[in-house]
Structure 1
Amino acid sequence: MEEVISVRFGSTLRGSAFITLLLSYLAVFLLPLVLGSILYTKTSNIMVDNANRANLAMLEQLRQVMDIKLKDVEQMSQQIAFNSRLQWLMSNTDSPGDQDAYKFVEFVTEHLSRYQNASDYIRDYYVYLSATDTVLLPSAKTTANMLYDRLYRPIGPDFNLWRSRLIDRPHYQDYTPVTYDTPSGKLDTITFVQTLPLGEPNELRGALVILLDMNKVRSMLTQIESAYQSSVFILDRENRLLVGSEQQAQLWERLRLTVPKGGAPYEYQDEGVDKMLLHTESERNGWNYVLIMPKDVYLAKVHTLKNWMMTLLVICLAGGAAAIVYWLHRNYAPLRDVVRALQKEKPGKAALPVNEYEFIRETIRMTMHEERELRHTLSRQAPVIRASFLSRFVRGQVDGSGMTDESLQFMDIRLVSGEFAVILIEIADFSGFSSDSSERQWALVRFIICNVGHDLIREQAWGYAVELDRSRVALLVNFYREERSEDSRMLDGIADKLLPVMEQRFKTNVTIAIGDVHEGVEGVGASYFEALSALDYKMYRDHGAIIRYKDIADADRHYYYPIETEMQLINFTKSGDVDNVDKVIGNLFHAHFTQRRITPDMGRSLCNNMVSTLWKIINPLDPYYSEVFGEAFDPLKELSACLTVDEMQVKIREWFLALCGYLKASRSRGSRPLSDRITQFIEQHYGNELLSLTMIAEQFELTPQYLSALFKKQTGTNLTDYVTRVRIDAAKKLMKNKKLTFMQIANEVGYANDIGFIRVFKKYEGTTPGKYRESL
């Protein structure tokens, strides 16, 4: 930080007070950080211990619950095993009779059935007597074969293997995971087996089997797993998996020798994920209960604390740094800010002194000198800035909320009220003032208009003259509030004085358009666009007109040019009726521009529509219209160059009358005799296969398009259809001679084969040549 300060303040200036303050603030700031770090370490260790104890307690609670459930099972097994009636049945049923069968049923109903609700974890239980191969269920007596086939068939071993496993060796409270195939589907159990009689390992006469519901155990484990995002499994005293997956059993087999005793957590890594393993062993039956949890979940609260501590640390660092900067700024600002600000001002012009105060004095002197030069430069640019602002202000491109008294004062602009209006002056011709039309002369004329307009505005109101473009100047009029009733009169007075001054004294023709008076800064743009709309109406007047928006605001915004009028104009032109063509055009312009005034946009649209009518007449003559108007004829371009309605009317009238005279002269040159010669040529040469529109056009030295249009216009028939009709009529005469074949007839009338002839004949006659010949 000291390096940064030295760079900012200069290599020869050193702030000893700043360094002293900085070191003291850092000492105060670092002390609580050190204490906080120590507190965080202690707290983190405590929370890790708490996490270990909490997770181990949860696992111990699971073990205790399972021990209680298994204790109930073992107590039940002892009660059944030591039952006197069961002892008698095992000793006296080597060759059972009917009476012994009754004893079995009596034992089931009076003794065995009472344990059906001993525990919710017990799915079922039964006693197997090997001497008689009898199975005693809580509610029935059956055989081992029936039990295996219809009730509980263990998946894997066959019947003989299953039965031999029950009594091939002594079982004392053995628990084994077994899956049975039952009538209702697969059944996962932990099967408890106790050989009978209890305590006699050599004389095995039967076995007590209790089926524990695996789903109950899994449900309890699932609740723990979902609540703690962990994995729990159970192994018996010989590390065989009772509840869980084979993958978990393999993991335990790999890790069990390295896992510490006494319930201490064991940390390991599985597929790149850090995990924690806890286990506890039941003193009752030696079962191992193992819990595996991701380290992030296991130490979630520790991580939360760490995140909070890191967040607080960052906040403390940021807050402490901000506080240090604030107090440094507060205490050292008088020198730091002044030196920093002054050193940015061209320090190379003066040698750096040895202390801050002399540096400040010298730099201030240099800075004030530079500031005076800068203000002088800005003052020279103020007129340009002012003109640009006024140009945007008149067009409504300035946001009124951003206009401040300070900015207006800088540009030497003053507004006396919120009432504004805009007057537009368009320069039409200044050839009487100067024959030179250079940019210099244009600038001079604009300068004259601005000065005259400015003086006229200041006689009665307040405002400014603004140059907008090459031929247009705007007068921004700002009215005094006490004279609002005279606003319109003032605008008329300015225009009435400005127009004769420019025409008589400066020999310059101008058109003046006046917008309405509006309230507020936003109203300036509205008045400008109103004046711009009024300026378009100069097309109705000669130069030197004053057009007020209020006078043209109610102008018609539609024109009347129906299809009937257009057809009259087309027909009169085609027939060469000059008088009626002139009358129709005159009536249209008189109705729209004399009797009533349509808007300039509508006026130009009407003229464009009349040009469209002209093209409708010209198009069939293509390309012979060039004989009338020339190759470069572009009526829309010529029309857009017209400045007044009278010029537009003259142009349109000339075009229609010229076309009318041309069409009239064309008919007088003998168009009808030409069509007669064409028909005569077709009747003489219809048998020629090469007869076509192109051949006929070449014969008469005309283009195919013009020939086709002219023939149809004079005869009302398409030329190609006429040729086909002549050939069909000739073929019908030849068909009377039955000796001629259709191929011969086709060749006679100009077809290359009979297929084309038959197709054309059917199209025009509605029947085939064969049927037609039969009807003769």
Structure 2
Amino acid sequence: ISYIIILLLSMTSNVIYYQRMEKNTLENIKRSSFAMLEQLQIDMDNKLRQVYELSNNIVFDKKLAILIKGNDYIFSYKDIMEDMMNYPKNEFIYDYYIYFYNTDQVVTATVKFPSQRFYDIMYSYEGVEYSSWQDEVLSKYHFHTYLPSRQLNAYNSEKHRVITFVQSIPINRSDRPLGQLIILIDEEKISGMIDKMHWAAGAYIYIIDKNGETILTSKEAPLLPNEIKKQISLSSSIFDYSMGRDEVTVLCHTSEQNNWKYVMVMPKSIFLAEINRTKTFTLSLSLFCLILGVPWLTNHMGDACRQECDRIQC
């Protein structure tokens, strides 16, 4: 009986060891993943804050406020272009321009074109016609609106993926804006952070705005199911979900600055990889103890039985 107890004790200790390792590993993975999401959110908030500052500098410019109402006898487009030239432009901002509704003119720091000509020869979106761009961007009221990442055809020769920020002018006129400020954010300058996280965690990363629109994703990320969007809208920070045959764990962190959600979707095959390695080691150790212990225990039990038989015969 003592031999059986020792064998069971060694095997039970392996199981307890595995359970504790599994719990600790899961907690460590959760903490490190949330820390990465929080750092991504902080970095993005800092960059977006610079976009807001540039937007405010332009939108509240007194010269622009007068000119956009049609009073071109006081200030001219040249005055606005000179001011735009002096505004600081961060490395992740590809370019920005202003649309004047009354004259249908688009102005950058260096050029001025009618809106359709500007769209045709300067900046156009891949697969988007001018009429769609006019309806979606130029004609509607926008307040700190971010459009999802798209490919931009610049000068009919260069291609860039950009996130488009749109702010109507003036900001307090929502019936029919007099103009639009459009800031083009170079996706490549900010996607590096997401791709590094994707590589480090082996997970898909999504950035979702307050309206539920996916603004940016990591490379080769599949379309985020609506069920996950609904779940994270309920302020769930971590939960499991089945994507077809794949079991995934979803982590979500929300920015207090703009209510954007930073989502990490981790396949359990990756999320539990270290735990599965520990499980394999634990089971192998238990099996090793069993293989060595059973024959040894059987031999000793046989010897004990023979000794008892000899004693009875004597």
- TM tier relative to shorter chain: 0.7 to 0.9
1:689-721 deviations in Å (ceiling 9; x for gaps): xxxxxxxxxxxxxxxxxxxxxxxxxxxxxxxxx
Q: Are the aligned partners of 2:99 and 2:138 in contact in 1 as well (CA < 8 Å)?
A: no
Query: Does residue 240 of structure 2 align to residue 262 of structure 1?
Result: no
How much has 1:116 moved relative to structure 2?
A: 4.7
Q: In the alignment, what sits opposite 1:228?
A: 201
1:292-349 deviations in Å (ceiling 9; x for gaps): 22202112222222223223323333454466468x39x949x96xx9xxxxxxxxxx
Larger of the two Rg values belongs to structure: 1
Query: Does residue 11 of structure 2 align to residue 33 of structure 1?
Result: yes
Identity, % of aligned pairs?
26
Q: Are the aligned partners of 1:176 and 1:191 in contact in 2 as well (CA < 8 Å)?
A: yes
Query: Does residue 99 of structure 2 align to residue 125 of structure 1?
Result: no
Q: Are the aligned partners of 1:56 and 1:263 in contact in 2 as well (CA < 8 Å)?
A: no
Q: In the alignment, what sits opposite 2:172?
A: 199
1:645-695 deviations in Å (ceiling 9; x for gaps): xxxxxxxxxxxxxxxxxxxxxxxxxxxxxxxxxxxxxxxxxxxxxxxxxxx
Structure-2 separation of matches of 1:247 and 1:223: 14
Mapping for residues 345-494 of structure 1, pairs under 5 Å: 355-356=309-310
Structure-1 separation of matches of 2:199 and 2:13: 39
1:6-48 deviations in Å (ceiling 9; x for gaps): xxxxxxxxxxxxxxxxx12112332343344334323322322
SS at match of 2:287: helix
Q: In the alignment, what sits opposite 1:135?
A: 106
Q: Are the aligned partners of 2:100 and 2:178 in contact in 1 as well (CA < 8 Å)?
A: yes
Q: Are the aligned partners of 1:230 and 1:291 in contact in 2 as well (CA < 8 Å)?
A: yes
SS at match of 1:169: coil
Structure-1 separation of matches of 2:81 and 2:98: 10
Structure-1 separation of matches of 2:175 and 2:183: 22
| Alpha-carbon spacing, 1:161–1:31, altered in 2? closer, same or farther (3 Å) | closer
Q: In the alignment, what sits opposite 2:282?
A: 309
Structure-2 separation of matches of 1:247 and 1:297: 15
Look up the equivalent residue of 1:216 and give its one-letter code. K
Q: Are the aligned partners of 2:205 and 2:221 in contact in 1 as well (CA < 8 Å)?
A: no
Which of residues 71, 85, 98 is equivalent to 1:113?
Answer: 85
Structure-2 separation of matches of 1:165 and 1:26: 76
Q: In the alignment, what sits opposite 2:153?
A: 181
How much has 1:358 moved relative to structure 2?
A: 10
Look up the equivalent residue of 2:20 and give its one-letter code. K
Structure-2 separation of matches of 1:200 and 1:256: 32
Q: Are the aligned partners of 1:51 and 1:299 in contact in 2 as well (CA < 8 Å)?
A: no
Which of residues 237, 247, 267 is equivalent to 1:294?
Answer: 267
Look up the equivalent residue of 2:237 and give its one-letter code. G
Q: Are the aligned partners of 1:264 and 1:278 in contact in 2 as well (CA < 8 Å)?
A: yes
Q: In the alignment, what sits opposite 1:51?
A: 29
| Alpha-carbon spacing, 1:40–1:161, altered in 2? closer, same or farther (3 Å) | closer
Structure-2 separation of matches of 1:355 and 1:286: 81
Structure 2 segments unaligned to the other structure (5+ residues): none
TM-score by length of 2: 0.83
Structure-2 separation of matches of 1:247 and 1:33: 42
How much has 1:72 moved relative to structure 2?
A: 1.4
Look up the equivalent residue of 1:76 and give its one-letter code. L
Q: Are the aligned partners of 1:166 and 1:195 in contact in 2 as well (CA < 8 Å)?
A: no
Structure-1 separation of matches of 2:214 and 2:231: 19
SS at match of 1:146: helix
Structure-1 separation of matches of 2:102 and 2:136: 15
Q: In the alignment, what sits opposite 1:275?
A: 248
How much has 1:155 moved relative to structure 2?
A: 3.5
1:253-280 deviations in Å (ceiling 9; x for gaps): 133335673312323242x232222223
Look up the equivalent residue of 1:181 and give its one-letter code. N
Structure-1 separation of matches of 2:293 and 2:32: 38
How much has 1:194 moved relative to structure 2?
A: 0.2
Structure-1 separation of matches of 2:275 and 2:207: 28
SS at match of 2:188: helix
| Alpha-carbon spacing, 1:189–1:37, altered in 2? closer, same or farther (3 Å) | same
Higher strand share: 2
Say which structure, 1 or 2, has more relative contact order (CA 8 Å, 6+ apart): 2
How much has 1:86 moved relative to structure 2?
A: 2.0
Mapping for residues 281-680 of structure 1, pairs under 5 Å: 281-321=254-294, 324=297, 328=300, 332=303, 355-356=309-310
Which of residues 67, 75, 88 is equivalent to 2:45?
Answer: 67
Q: Are the aligned partners of 2:251 and 2:264 in contact in 1 as well (CA < 8 Å)?
A: yes
Look up the equivalent residue of 2:84 and give its one-letter code. L
| Alpha-carbon spacing, 1:243–1:226, altered in 2? closer, same or farther (3 Å) | same
Structure-1 separation of matches of 2:236 and 2:57: 35
Structure-2 separation of matches of 1:312 and 1:150: 69
SS at match of 1:80: helix
Look up the equivalent residue of 1:45 and give its one-letter code. K
Look up the equivalent residue of 1:145 and give its one-letter code. Q
1:407-453 deviations in Å (ceiling 9; x for gaps): xxxxxxxxxxxxxxxxxxxxxxxxxxxxxxxxxxxxxxxxxxxxxxx
Q: In the alignment, what sits opposite 1:540?
A: none
Q: In the alignment, what sits opposite 2:118?
A: 147
The alignment's C-alpha RMSD in Å is: 3.3
Structure-2 separation of matches of 1:180 and 1:320: 69
How much has 1:67 moved relative to structure 2?
A: 1.9
Structure 1 segments unaligned to the other structure (5+ residues): 1-22, 340-353, 361-776
Look up the equivalent residue of 1:71 and give its one-letter code. R
How much has 1:50 moved relative to structure 2?
A: 2.1
SS at match of 1:192: strand
How much has 1:130 moved relative to structure 2?
A: 1.9
How much has 1:73 moved relative to structure 2?
A: 0.8
Number of residue-to-residue matches in the alignment: 310
| Alpha-carbon spacing, 1:171–1:38, altered in 2? closer, same or farther (3 Å) | same
| Alpha-carbon spacing, 1:227–1:184, altered in 2? closer, same or farther (3 Å) | farther
1:353-395 deviations in Å (ceiling 9; x for gaps): x9538999xxxxxxxxxxxxxxxxxxxxxxxxxxxxxxxxxxx
TM-score by length of 1: 0.36
Structure-2 separation of matches of 1:266 and 1:59: 17
Structure-2 separation of matches of 1:246 and 1:311: 36
How much has 1:77 moved relative to structure 2?
A: 0.6
Q: Are the aligned partners of 1:266 and 1:278 in contact in 2 as well (CA < 8 Å)?
A: no
